[in-house]
Amino acid sequence: MNNELNSLLEKLQILEKMYQMMRIVDPLAKKVLVLQDYELKDINTQCFELWKKNQFCENCVSIRAINEDDTVFKIEFKENSIYMITAVPISINGRKLVAEFIKETTNNLILYDGRHDENFKIVTLVEYLNKISVKDELTGLYNRRYINERLPVNLLHASTKNEPLSIIFTDLDFFKNINDTYGHATGDMILKNIGSQLQKHIDINKDWIARYGGEEFLICLTNTHYEQAQQIAEKIRVAIEKTVFTVLDQPVQITCSFGVHTVYHEAGSLSVDEIIEMADRKLYLAKSK
């Protein structure tokens, strides 16, 4: 095992010389680790603290490196300085981690704006690109990529804190009929409205919503018991059912079906696909009724 670890460290040291900082990150636990005497030790530092943030990064480069099992690059900024992050998936003692290599590139990442004949820094552009990569273009909610990156983190935290985690999976009923009858522009308008209504019923400081695909949405409720999640789903169902859309001077209404699933102590052992499948089963049970 020591030979394997020494070989890994030698490779990492070669890369480290090209950067200003290297750190080992557990992307699910959001922890920074150090290697001492061939053992990984938690230094009680959350990885996003480096960027002066008090919450998870929406677009986590290390989660993506793990998911894609490949080296991933990202641009980040702090205090008006721009940084390039190279995230390399590694395995230490059978544990999947990420080595992050960080280098300040402020003076190298300058774009030329021909319209104004002046250079401008790309901090605003960096923010924009990092956000849109995990946002659904139509509704402005999070997208499928965000689900795959964020839900595993929420599952692990629920398990370690011994808190319930509830998932609401919702689907618009007979939505194909809307598109076929009134056109896709009307369908898009309704999807945007539904997305806005969903956000009104959650605490966006701790919970989140994503468009899973098509007319399906996923709501993640942290530290929320099953009964509470059911109540939230019912409030949303009633609100949407009462909404009247005007299309070609005609009133149009739509309903939604919901599947609610809550995990407790088993959260840390579940995958994203498993928990979505559980909520999906309950969704289609609701649809059949």
The contacts of residue 213 (CB under 8 Å, 6+ apart) are 144
Residue 8 has pLDDT above 80, yes or no: no
Residue 120 pLDDT? 45
0.75 exceeded by pTM = yes
Of residues 93 and 123, which shows the higher confidence score? 93
State the average pLDDT over residues 116-143. Answer: 71
State the average pLDDT over residues 47-73. Answer: 87
Mean pLDDT of the chain: 85
Q: Which of 68, 79, 215, 266 is catalytic?
A: 215
Q: Which residue has the tokens 């695909």?
A: 213
Alpha carbon distance 244, 183 (integer Å): 17
Alpha carbon distance 70, 90 (integer Å): 10
Q: What is the identity of the amino acid at 15?
A: L
Residue 107 has pLDDT above 80, yes or no: no
Contact 194, 252 (CB under 8 A): no
State the average pLDDT over residues 258-286. Answer: 87
pLDDT confidence band for 119 (50 / 70 / 90): very low
- b/e map 153-176, b = 16+ CB within 10 Å: bbbbbbbeeebbbbbbbbbbeebe
Which of these ranges, 16-30, 179-193, 204-218, has the smallest mean pLDDT? 16-30
State the average pLDDT over residues 160-177. Answer: 93
Of residues 80 and 221, which shows the higher confidence score? 221
Q: Is 215 a catalytic residue?
A: yes
Residue 179 pLDDT? 93
Long-range CB pairs of 34-37, under 8 A, 24+ apart, other chains included: 35/9, 35/92
Alpha carbon distance 126, 73 (integer Å): 13
Alpha carbon distance 150, 220 (integer Å): 10
State the average pLDDT over residues 189-205. Answer: 94
Alpha carbon distance 63, 55 (integer Å): 15
> Which pair of tokens denotes residue 128?
């924009």
Residue 177 pLDDT? 94
Residue 267 pLDDT? 62
